[in-house]
Amino acid sequence: MTMERARRLQQLPPYLFAELDRLKAEQVRKGVDVISLGISDPDLPTPPHIVERLKAAAEDAANHRYPSYEGLREFREAVARWYRQRFGVDLDPETEVFALIGSKEGIAHFPLAFLNPGDSALVPSPGYPVYHAGTVFAGATPHTVPLRPAQGFLPDLGAIPEVAARQAKLLFLNYPNNPTAAVAEVAFFEQVVAYAQAHHFIVAHDAAYSEIAFDGYRPASFLQARGAKEVGIEFHSLSKTYNMTGWRVGFAVGHPELIAALGQVKTNVDSGVFQAVQEAGIAALDGDQGCVEEMRRTYQERRDLLLQGLREVGLKAEVPRASFYVWAEVPPGYTSAKLTTHLLLNAGIAVTPGNGFGPEGEGFVRMALTVDRARIAETVERMRKVGF
Ligand SMILES: *Cc1c(COP(=O)(O)O)cnc(C)c1O
C-alpha cells in the first residue's frame, strides 16, 4: 500500500500560511489578544428575515429529500430577476442559471468540464487560490497573468504572450478583486470579450464581491459587456452579500453550453443545495435590500477608519472602492513576510502576506475589514506604538 499523494496534490503551491498559523496559535496560547485582519468571513450575522425563511423551510418535509441538481426553479427565477434588476442582464432560468454549493465549489469544478491534461488556463496572480487549484486538478497547466499596480491590477492583455493566449482554453477573472480590492468597468470587460473571441477561450468571472462597494459605486457584472454571454460564465455567491458564508449557496450564470457542462460535472459529484437553504436564498434575493445597504455602510466606516490610521502610521494603501479588503504596500526594508511577522509578534495583529496569493503579491499585505471599529482603532494604536 502506498500513501503517496497524487501528483495533483503535490503540484499545488506550498501553503505559505502554515508557519504563520503556527506563530499565531502560539501568540494566542501565550495569552496575546490577537486582532485578526486575516479573515475573509463577514463578522456580522445573516439578516433575520433570511434566517426565518430557513426555519420555516426546514419544517417542510418536501425539503428533506434530495434537491434537483440544477436548483429549484423558483431559486433560478429569483436569480434571473435579481440579475435583471441589478445589472439589466436577461437570463433564462432554465438554461442559463445553475445553483452551487457556494461559488468556490462551482469555480473548482468548472475546469473539469473543459480542460484536458496538457491544456492551459490563464490564472491571475495575485489571486484567489481556487483558480489555480481547479486548473491543476483538471490535469491542466496554469499560466500566470500578473496583476500589477500600474494597470490598476487589471491583466495587461497585450502583454500575454501570443502562444499562451492561443493555447489557453480558459481565463479566470475576479472583480471586485480579492486580494487587491481592484475593480473593473464594463469597457474593460468588453476588451476581454474581444480578446477571448480572437483567441477562442472561455472567460470565467468570479463576482463574489459585486455588492460590497462604497461611495455609491456599483460594480459591473461581466455579463453586462457586449458579447459576454457568448464566451463567458459568471460565478456568484450569497456568502458575502448576505453574510451567508456558512450556508453554502451560490450560483453560476452564463452561456447555456458552459452551464450545462458544469452541471454534468456536478451531477456526477454532488447532489445539489439543500432546498431550505435555496428558499432562504430566494428570501435574500427577492427581499428588501436594505440589509445590504447597511452592510456597505458598516464596511465603509471601517474602511475610512483604517485608511486614515494607515496614513497616520505611514503605510500606503489605495482607498478601496469595493470588496472588504485593504491591499497595503509594505514599507521600505520589509517584505510581505517580514511585515506580517513584525505585526504579529510585536503588535498582536494578524494580516495576510500578499505573496500567499501568488508571487506577484509580494510587497503587499491584505487586511480584511471584518472586525468592528473598536478593533480597527486598536489596530491603528498598536501599529503606532510598534512603528516600522
Ligand atoms: C469569498 C469568496 C468567494 C465565495 O465563496 P463561497 O464558496 O461562495 O462562499 C468566491 N471568490 C472569492 C474571490 C472569494 O473571496
Summary count for the chain: helices (H), strands (E): 14, 12
Closest to 225 in 3D by CA, of 37, 96, 371, 89 = 89
Do 55 and 41 belong to one domain?
no
Answer whether 366 contacts ligand 1 (Cβ < 6 A).
no
Number of domains the chain contains: 2
Do 37 and 65 belong to one domain?
no
Do 89 and 64 belong to one domain?
yes
Can you give the pTM of this predicted structure? 0.97
Task: Burial-class residue 290 by CB neighbours within 10 Å (0-12, 13-18, 19+).
Answer: exposed
Residue 1 inside a domain? The answer is: no
Closest C-alpha residue for ligand 1 atom 3 = 208
Do 243 and 328 belong to one domain?
no
pLDDT at 19: 84
Closest to 320 in 3D by CA, of 144, 103, 153, 148 = 153
Residue 297 CA from chain centroid, whole number = 20
Answer whether 174 contacts ligand 1 (Cβ < 6 A).
yes
| Owning domain of residue 347 | 7-45+291-386
pLDDT at 15: 79
177 Cα nearest atom in ligand 1: 13
Which of 240, 243, 266 to mutate to test ligand 1, by most ligand atoms within 8 A of the CB atom?
A: 240
Report pLDDT digits (tens) over 7-56.
999 999 877 788 888 999 999 999 999 999 998 999 999 999 999 999 99
Residue 159 inside a domain? The answer is: yes
Do 215 and 99 belong to one domain?
yes
CATH at 120: 3.40.640.10
Answer whether 134 contacts ligand 1 (Cβ < 6 A).
no
Cross-strand bridge partners of residue 317: 328
Do 195 and 269 belong to one domain?
yes
Structural domain ending residue among the three candidates 286, 318, 343: 286
Which of 101, 236, 237 to mutate to test ligand 1, by most ligand atoms within 8 A of the CB atom?
A: 237
Residue 100 inside a domain? The answer is: yes
pLDDT at 2: 87
* Position 362 pLDDT exceeds 90: yes
127 Cα nearest atom in ligand 1: 13
Do 126 and 191 belong to one domain?
yes
3-state secondary structure of 318: coil
Do 59 and 86 belong to one domain?
yes
Cross-strand bridge partners of residue 364: 329
Which of 128, 180, 233 to mutate to test ligand 1, by most ligand atoms within 8 A of the CB atom?
A: 128
Grid cell for residue 65: 429529500
Give the span between the Cα atoms of 324 and 335, in whole angstroms: 23
Instruction: List the beta strands (DSSP E) in 175-282.
Output: 202-206, 232-237, 250-254
